[in-house]
Amino acid sequence: MNINFLRLLFYFILLILLQDIVIDKLPLSTYIRPEIYTIFILLLPFNYPAIATLVWAFALGLGIDIFSADVIGLHTAALLVLAYVRPRLLRRVSPKDDMDSIAIPSYHNLGLRSFIIYTILSIALYNTVLFILDTFSFHNFLHLLIRILFSTLATTLFILLIQFAFISKRR
Amino acid sequence: MNNLLRFLVGVRVLLLFIILEIIALTLFTTNSYYQQSVVINKLHAVRGIVHEQVSELTQYLNLRETNTTLAIENTILHNELVHYRLERHATAGTVTGPAGTPLFNYIPATITDNSVNKQHNYIMLDVGAIHHVAPDMGVVTEYGVIGIVMAVTEHYAIVKSLLHTDWRCNVRLVQAGDFGPLQWDGVIYNEAVLHDIPQHSNVQLGDTVVTSGYSSIFPPNIPVGVVKSYEIKRGNFYEIRIRLFADFKKIRYVNVVSFLYRDEVKALNELRDEY
pLDDT (tens digit, 9 = 90+) per residue, B116-164? 888 888 899 988 899 889 988 999 887 788 999 999 998 899 999 999 8
Q: Report the pLDDT value the prediction gives residue A123, as an integer from 0 to 100.
A: 93
Checking if the pLDDT of A147 tops 80, the result is: yes
pLDDT (tens digit, 9 = 90+) per residue, B9-22? 668 888 888 888 88
Best mutation site among B25, B28, B161 for testing chain A: the one with the most A CBs within 10 Å?
Answer: B28
Band of the pLDDT at A171, cuts 50, 70, 90?
very low
CA-based nearest residue to B138, from B73, B194, B211, B70: B211
Contact B24 A77 (CB under 8 A): yes
Q: How many angstroms away from the CA of A168 is the closest CA of chain B?
A: 30
Checking if the pLDDT of A57 tops 90, the result is: yes
B 238-267 near A (Cβ less than 8 A): 249
Which whole-number Å values give the CA distances from B66 to B126, B148, B182, in the listed order?
Answer: 17, 23, 28
pLDDT (tens digit, 9 = 90+) per residue, A14-30? 888 888 878 877 777 77
Checking if the pLDDT of A59 tops 90, the result is: yes
Band of the pLDDT at B113, cuts 50, 70, 90?
confident
Class of CATH domain A2-165: mainly alpha
Contact A73 B31 (CB under 8 A): yes
The share of chain B scoring above pLDDT 70, in percent, equals 83
* B6 touches A at CB < 8 Å: no
Domains of chain B: 105-275 (2.40.10.340)
Band of the pLDDT at B89, cuts 50, 70, 90?
very low
pLDDT (tens digit, 9 = 90+) per residue, B131-143? 889 988 999 887 7
The number of residues making up chain A comes to: 171
Nearest CB partner across the interface for A143, out of B23, B25, B187: B187
Q: How many angstroms away from the CA of A143 is the closest CA of chain B?
A: 7
Contact B12 A72 (CB under 8 A): no
Checking if the pLDDT of A99 tops 60, the result is: no
pLDDT (tens digit, 9 = 90+) per residue, B224-255? 899 999 888 767 788 899 999 888 888 888 88
The more confidently predicted of residues B59 and B187 is B187
The share of chain B scoring above pLDDT 90, in percent, equals 12
Q: How far is CA A76 from the centre of its chain?
A: 12
pLDDT (tens digit, 9 = 90+) per residue, A28-42? 777 788 888 999 998
Q: Report the pLDDT value the prediction gives residue A122, as an integer from 0 to 100.
A: 93
Checking if the pLDDT of A82 tops 90, the result is: yes
The number of residues making up chain B comes to: 275
Q: What is the mean pLDDT of residues B200-220?
A: 85
Q: Which chain B residues are closer than 8 Å to A67 by Cβ?
A: 47
For residue B138, list its beta bridge partners.
B148, B257
Best mutation site among B37, B42, B52, B118 for testing chain A: the one with the most A CBs within 10 Å?
Answer: B118
Q: Report the pLDDT value the prediction gives residue A81, as an integer from 0 to 100.
A: 94
* B50 touches A at CB < 8 Å: yes
Contact A73 B25 (CB under 8 A): yes
* B229 touches A at CB < 8 Å: no
Checking if the pLDDT of A156 tops 80, the result is: yes
3-class SS at B202? coil
Band of the pLDDT at B258, cuts 50, 70, 90?
confident
Question: Per-domain residue ranges for chain A?
Answer: 2-165
Q: Which chain A residues are closer than 8 Å to B252 by Cβ?
A: none
The more confidently predicted of residues A89 and B103 is A89
The values of phi and psi at residue A63, to 5°, are -60, -45
Band of the pLDDT at B273, cuts 50, 70, 90?
confident
Q: Report the pLDDT value the prediction gives residue B88, as an integer from 0 to 100.
A: 53
Q: Report the pLDDT value the prediction gives residue B93, as an integer from 0 to 100.
A: 39
Mean pLDDT of chain B: 80
pLDDT (tens digit, 9 = 90+) per residue, B13-47? 888 888 888 888 888 877 655 555 555 666 666 66
Q: Which chain B residues are closer than 8 Å to A55 by Cβ?
A: 16, 20
Q: Report the pLDDT value the prediction gives residue B227, as an integer from 0 to 100.
A: 92
Q: Report the pLDDT value the prediction gives residue A56, as an integer from 0 to 100.
A: 92
A-B CB pairs within 8 A amount to 94
Q: Report the pLDDT value the prediction gives residue B92, as an integer from 0 to 100.
A: 39
Nearest CA in chain B to A55: B20
| ipTM for this model | 0.81
